[in-house]
Amino acid sequence: MSSRMHDQLRDLGREIVREENPQEPWYRSRLWESKEIQKVLKGNKGSEKIRAIYLNKGSSEDFGETPEHAGHILTSEQFKNLTRLRFLHVNGAHFSGDFKNSIEELRWLQWQNCPLTFEAENINLKELVALDLSKSKISDKWGGWNSIMMAEELKFLDLTRCSSLEGTFFLSAFKNLEVLILKGCWRLEQIDSSIGDMKSMVRLDLTGCISLKELPLEAGKLKALEQLLLQGCQNISVVPDEIGALQNLEILNISGTGIKDLPYGIGKLRNLRILDASKLL
């Protein structure tokens, strides 16, 4: 499908949504225009009709930016009536207040550039299946992990360029994870052994994790894994022989790593289609 065709379909879909209620955006199912979202949130006019909010551009000052909070401040009062919200995209926002009994049906949260501080209370994310925290300042001590780890049915987790992360203790909560992206987490030193419990994992992306020295042996338990991406992990010198148990593996990229010899078990990978071992250090 061409880009032009895609844009036309997007515009058509948006016009259909706009016609749900041209004058009162709080009675529409989806919101994507900054001024309308500002009108709904600042006026505390949210309703159970709203299922999706895409807030990416616009004036941060209109949402209450202060020097201490370089981003939108989203309060629990603004979300109190958004009880059926399923999709939320925000960039650089701070959540503040008590979120008890609100956004409990949220399935998809795209919270890029989220801050190191976590000020929300009683935020329930049990229904979350997809989470994107890419380009964020979060560390292992980030206060939001307790809320995130409620999401036991999480299937997609993107932590691209979360450069303060050093460990992954939080993975123990996500046994149903299918996609884990840790690309560009250059301070990351270890992958939690609990990754072996992720029986549905199909993609593990560790591209550019330059501080990572090894894969846990438990990675050999990822029976459903189709893509293992290690390019640029220059301190990894060995891939465990347990990799031979990954019978569904189709793509293995070890380009730019410190691996000198291919693991013996690689010969057992009957479904392997792409092996990139170029530019080995």
Alpha helices in 19-80 (DSSP H): 34-42, 76-79
Token pair of 48 as six digits: 């159970």
Location of structure tokens 């459903």: 224
Strands 108-112, 130-132: pairing kind: parallel
Domain that holds residue 210: 180-188+201-281
Whether residue 242 lies inside any domain: the answer is: yes
Whether residue 270 lies inside any domain: the answer is: yes
Residue 66: the pLDDT is 42
Whether residue 102 lies inside any domain: the answer is: no
CATH number for the domain harbouring residue 274: 3.80.10.10
Whether residue 133 lies inside any domain: the answer is: no
Report the number of distinct structural domains present in the chain. Answer: 1
Q: Which residues have a Cβ under 8 Å from the Cβ of 161 and sit 6 or more positions away?
A: 134, 135, 183, 184, 185
Furthest C-alpha separation in the chain: 66
Mean pLDDT for back-to-back runs of 10 residues, the chain (281 residues): 50 45 58 78 80 69 43 85 91 92 93 92 95 95 94 97 95 97 97 95 97 93 96 92 91 93 83 88 55
Whether residue 221 lies inside any domain: the answer is: yes
pTM score, two decimals?
0.87
Q: What is the DSSP string of 148-199?
A: HTT-TT--EEE-TT-TT----GGGGG-TT--EEE-TT-TT-----GGGGG-T
